[in-house]
Amino acid sequence: MHRPDKGGTMAAQRNALEVNHFHVVFDERRVIFHYDVDVKAKAPPMNNRPQKISKFHLSLIRDKLFSDHAFPSSAYDGEKNVFSAERLTEGTFEVEVVKGGDARMVCYSVTLTLVKVLELRKLRDYLSGKVLSIPRNVLQGLDLVAKENPTKQCDMVGCCFFPKDHPISPRESKGIIATGGFQQSLKPTSQGLSLCLDYSVLSYFGEDKPVLKFLHEQIENFNLRMFPKFEKRVENLLVGLKVNVTHRRTKQKYTITRLTPMVTSRIRFPVLDTEGWNPARECSLVDYFFRKHQVVIQHTDIPALDFGGKKMNYVPMELCVLVKDQRCPKDNLLNTDAGNLLRSMSLAPAGERRNKIRTIVKSEEGPCG
C-alpha cells in the first residue's frame, strides 16, 4: 500500500529487535567436493530380496571407510551424499562393520564418485546481488557441514537435534519425559549468510507402560465401564504409538492404527484348517487367545487394538505395553497434564528462550562444537 509520507517516515520510531540468526563467515576462495556414495552388501540378500540399509548403519560404514583409508573429515547426509573440503580417492572399497547383537562382521561394497565441485564464490555473488539465481547445491553442502557436529553428538528426530549426555531442561509428567533440543538451517539474507537456530521440545516415554495404565494416567476420571464416553480421546492418544505384546515372546513392535469397531467380546473371525480337510470355522477373539495362548481376557467390553496390515491383527488392550523411548506426538497430549508440561516448555518466555539458544550455540553438541 502506498503511504502519503513514503513509508511512514514522518512518524518513524526505531526499536531494537533481537533475532535467532547468527552471522556465518566462509572463505569464498574455497571449494567443496560433492561425492555420490553407493553402498551394497557383499553377501546375497535373504530370500533374494534386497534389504534397505538403515541410516545408522550407513553412518557406521562411512566412518569405518574414512578411518580405514585415512580420508579427511567430511559431512554426510546419511544416504547418498558426502561433502568434503578436500578431494577424496574415487573408486570401490570393501568395508567390514559389526552388525547385530551377535557381533557378526558384515562386508559392504562402497563406491565413491565425484559429482561436482562446488565453488563458494557463487554463493558470495548471490549474496552480494551480482547474480539472481541461488546456488542451491552450494547452500546444501554448507548446510550439511554446519549440521555434521550435531548429527554426531545428538539424537536426531525429524529435523531436530537432542543432546544425548546433557539433555536440555528435562522434565517428567506421569512417565512422559519432555526435553529440549534445537533445529537449525542456513539462510541467505540481505546481510549475508545466517545460521537460523531455534529451540525445540521433544516428548517421549521414559519407561515401558501398559496401555490401560497409560490411559488412566492421561485421561481424567477415566473409567473402563464408561468406555464409549472416552473412546474418541483414547483413539487420539493411542493411534500411531508402538507397543509390545505380553501374550507371547517376541521383540517385534507393532504400531496402533485404530481401535476395533466392535468390543472384544463380539469380535469373530474365520479360522482355516491348516491341512485343508475341513471348512473354515468361526472363532471369537476371546476364545482364540484362551486356546492359542492360555490367556483369559478380563476386559471384554472395550475395543481391542488394530495393528493394521493385510491380515486381521487384533490384540486386547490389556496385553499391550507402550514401548520405552518412543516419541509421543504432541497433538495426542493436548488435554493432558503432559500436554500442559509440553506447552510450558515450548512457549518459554523470550528471555528464557534466548538464553537457551545462546547456550546451544556455544555448547559442544551445537553447530560450533
Q: pLDDT tens digits, residue range 220-241?
A: 899 999 999 999 999 988 999 9
In whole angstroms, give the CA distance from residue 113 to residue 91: 7
Q: Is the pLDDT of residue 258 over 70?
A: yes
In whole angstroms, give the CA distance from residue 99 to residue 134: 42
Q: Where are the domains of the chain?
A: 31-119, 121-206+342-362, 209-323
Dihedral pair phi/psi, residue 152, rounded to 5°:
-80, -30
Dihedral pair phi/psi, residue 66, rounded to 5°:
-70, -35
Bridge partner residues of 271 (DSSP): 281
What is the band of 193 on the pLDDT scale with cuts at 50, 70, 90?
very high
What is the band of 297 on the pLDDT scale with cuts at 50, 70, 90?
very high
Average pLDDT of the residues in 288-305? 93
In whole angstroms, give the CA distance from residue 346 to residue 182: 11
In whole angstroms, give the CA distance from residue 118 to residue 82: 12
Instruction: Specify whether the CB–CB gap between 364 and 164 falls below 8 A.
Output: no
pLDDT in tens, 129-187: 999 899 999 999 999 999 999 988 888 887 889 888 777 777 777 778 888 889 999 99
What is the band of 331 on the pLDDT scale with cuts at 50, 70, 90?
low
**H runs (alpha helix) in the chain:** 55-68, 121-127, 136-153, 211-218, 227-238, 285-293, 337-346, 350-362
In whole angstroms, give the CA distance from residue 286 to residue 316: 9
First to last CA, the chain: 46
More confident residue, 210 or 311: 210
Average pLDDT of the residues in 183-202? 91
Average pLDDT of the residues in 327-335? 70
State the residue for C-alpha cell 526499536.
15
What is the band of 83 on the pLDDT scale with cuts at 50, 70, 90?
very high
Homologous superfamily of domain range 209-323: paz domain (2.170.260.10)
Q: What is the 3-state secondary structure (H, E, C) of 267-313?
A: CEEEECCCCCCCCCEEEEHHHHHHHHHCCCCCCCCCEEEECCCCCCC
Q: Is the pLDDT of residue 101 over 60?
A: no
Q: Highest mean pLDDT range out of 51-55, 336-340, 356-360?
A: 356-360
Q: Is the pLDDT of residue 340 over 90?
A: no
| List of residues 6+ apart from 117 with CB closer than 8 A | 31, 32, 33, 34
Grid coordinates given for 58: 550407513
Measured CA to CA in angstroms, residue 65 lies from 37, 74, 87 at distances of 11, 12, 15
Task: Read off the pTM.
Answer: 0.71
Q: DSSP for 67-78?
A: HHTTPPPEEE-S
Q: Is the pLDDT of residue 7 over 70?
A: no
What is the band of 332 on the pLDDT scale with cuts at 50, 70, 90?
low
Give the E-state strand segments of 154-280 in sequence order: 154-157, 160-163, 168-173, 176-189, 192-205, 209-210, 242-245, 254-255, 258-263, 268-271
